[in-house]
Amino acid sequence: MKHAVVTGITGQDGSYLAEFLLSKPEYVVHGLVRRSSTLNRSRIDHLTIDPAFRDRFHLHYADLADSASLGSLMDQIKPDEVYNLGAQSHVRVSFDQPLYTADVVGLGTLRILEAVRQLARTKPVRFYQASSSEMFGSAPPPQSLDTPFHPRSPYACAKLYGHWQTVNYREAYGMYACSGVLFNHESPRRGESFVTRKITLGAGRIKVGLQDRLVMGNLDAKRDWGFAGDFVKAMWLMLQQSEPKDYVVATGETHSVREFLEIAFGMLDLDYQDFVKFDPRYTRPSEVDVLLGDPSEAKNVLGWRPEVDFQGLVKMMVEHDLELARREKHLLEYRPQ
């Protein structure tokens, strides 16, 4: 059996990656979870309770801020593959908590790389680092690995630190370590405060009458948005090659937040302009205006292709969140008095 360790398993990508790995009978998946006062495992509950995965899906307490927990888990599990997806991943929040973000996202990557390096002395182990298109920041589009990085947030600076540490561990110690520079990827499991999910949740609730406005920031920013379920396959492919290498993973299309709003509200026969209000609270001290990735290496070398297009992504999220809103309304209407 192949043992894979996944940090950030309770997050959007962690849940899709776990599903994808478990769909391959040769994988045992070990997810690292943080202790919290209430359980936050809704994205992976279906995997935990499925008897088919009882012997192939395990959760372990650890934290990227805690080297000892990472080292002892590497020692105990002795994984073949490590996917480092754990992060304080919200760009706006990183301006409020820059040191914490640098610790978990930047130093956290170094902590797990060190734990993997110790293990690599005794057995082969492959490492994936979740790097981000935010590292390109204000660099003009289209962005590829030949584009100079120009990060525009504490989050992006921390990711860049993790990216270069990953490259350096590969070059210095000959480790099989890859940095996947992934552009924005979304899904019905996306965190509620990221812009796409905020829009589809808001549109659904407005449609059923639970909400009458949606308060947003900069609608002119453009992003290269893909489907998270497609993107996790590229992570796995990167660890299956004969040589380790970094890749950009993107759709190669860019759309503005305004376009996302127009299409999502339009699918519900609503005009977003009747409901969206501006609040500077949702803007950032320094913004990333346009992200547009060039995924040609991922296509040519890994054979990776996104299967869900932009319209399909918006539709999937709108339909999911309309159903959520309907259920919420139903529960409110039928709550015992």
Instruction: Indicate whether 18 belongs to the interface with ligand NAP (CB under 6 A).
Output: no
∠ CA 50-55-57 to the nearest 5 degrees?
65
Residue 143 pairs with which residues in a beta bridge?
A: 293
Contact indicator for 167, 131 with CB cutoff of 8 Å: no
Phi, psi of 176 (to 5 degrees): -80, 90
Is 132 an annotated catalytic residue? yes
Q: Which residue lies nearer to ligand NAP by CB, 225 or 275?
A: 225
Q: Of the two residues 31 and 226, which places its CB atom closer to ligand F7E in the complex?
A: 226
For ligand F7E, the binding residues in 118-177 under the rule CB under 6 A are 132-134
Residue 193: contacted member of ligand NAP, ligand F7E, none (CB under 5 to 8 Å, by partner type): ligand F7E
- Measured distance CA(202)–CA(192) in Å, rounded: 10
Question: In the annotation, is 171 catalytic?
Answer: no
Measured at CB, which residue is nearest to ligand NAP?
A: 11
Query: Cα-Cα-Cα-Cα dihedral of 46, 50, 56, 57, to 10°?
Result: 30
Report phi then psi at 148, rounded to 5: -65, 140
Q: Choose which of 216, 248, 249, 318 interacts with ligand F7E (CB under 6 A).
A: 216
Q: At what angle do helices 195-207 and 257-267 cross, to 10 degrees?
A: 30
287 is an active site residue: no
CB 246 within 8 A of CB 167: yes
Residue of 155, 161, 247, 272 marked catalytic: 155
Nearer residue to ligand F7E within complex by CB, 58 or 92? 92
Binding positions for ligand F7E, rule: CB under 6 A: 89, 91-92, 132-134, 184, 193-195, 198, 216-218, 221, 223, 257, 282, 284, 287-288
Binding positions for ligand NAP, rule: CB under 6 A: 7-14, 32, 34, 36, 40, 63-65, 85-89, 104, 130, 132, 182, 184-185, 191
